[in-house]
Amino acid sequence: MKKLLFTVLSILTLAGCKEKTQKEEIERDTLDVKIDSTFQTAVKQYRYLSNQVTLGEYPKTFYKDKEGLETSNSGWWCSGFFPGTLFYLDEAVGAQDLKEEGVAILEDLKKEQFNTSTHDLGFMMYCSFGNAERLAPKKEYEEILMNSAKSLSTRYNDTVQAIRSWNSAPWNKAGEDDLVVIIDNMMNLELLFWATKHSGDSTYYDIAVNHANTTIENHFRKDYSSYHEVIYDELTGKAKLKITNQGAADSSAWARGQAWGLYGYVVMYRETKDKKYLEQAKSIANFLLNHPNLPKDKIPYWDFNAPKIPNALRDSSAGAIIASALIELSTYTTGEISSKYLNDAKVMLKSLLSSEYIAEVETNGGFILKHGVGNMPNNTEVDTPLSYGDYYLIEAMLRYKELNK
Asked if 248 and 254 touch (Cβ cutoff 8 Å), the reply is yes
> In three state form, how does the secondary structure of 15-46 look?
HHHHHHHHHHHHHHHHHHHHHHHHHHHHHHHH
Give the whole-angstrom CA distance, residue 292 versus residue 289. 9
Q: What type of residue is 62?
A: F
The one catalytic residue among 120, 303, 344, 390:
120
Q: What type of residue is 36?
A: D
The strand pairing partners of 163, in sequence order, are 156
274 an active-site residue? no
120 an active-site residue? yes
In the three-class reduction of DSSP (H, G, I as helix; E, B as strand; rest coil), residue 89 is classed as helix
What region, left, alpha or beta, does residue 309 occupy, with left being phi > 0 and alpha being psi -120 to 50 degrees?
Answer: beta
The one catalytic residue among 90, 178, 184, 344:
184
Asked if 192 and 214 touch (Cβ cutoff 8 Å), the reply is no
Helix extents (H) in 187-237: 189-199, 203-219
Residues shown for the chain? 405
Asked if 341 and 209 touch (Cβ cutoff 8 Å), the reply is no
Q: Which are the catalytic amino acids?
A: 120, 184
